[in-house]
A = this chain, B = another copy of it.
Amino acid sequence: MSDETRDTVYIGKKPIMAYVTSTLIQLASLPSVSIKARGMTIGRAVDVAQIISRKTENAGYTIGDIRIGSESLESQDGRTRNVSTIEIEVKRNQ
């Protein structure tokens, strides 16, 4: 993992607090960060955004734009299938 500043956190299968921490680290130096997930991890992206906005209620960060979409993936048997995606913006309060 690199330690450069990015504006996107991709949700995978690590413990949820790992993504909360990554997002908070990015937010220390950036005004807004996108939390992205697809398929099975979409619910976890919502959890991460909610934990951040709840725990920093006064400090604080808020949820911005939320976008959903879908991507075509080729599965191992060569067939194409669609997978849903989500992108949640978390930003510093004005």
Contacts and interface: CB of A to CB of B under 8 A. Distances in A.
B82 A54 contact: yes
A42 B70 CA distance: 15
B70 A68 contact: no
Interface residues of A, number: 21
Interface of A: 39-43, 46-47, 49-50, 54, 63, 66-70, 82, 84-86, 88
A54 B70 CA distance: 9
Given A68-B49, A69-B50, A70-B54, A43 B88 contact: no
Nearest to A47: B84
A46 B71 CA distance: 12
Contacts of A49: 68
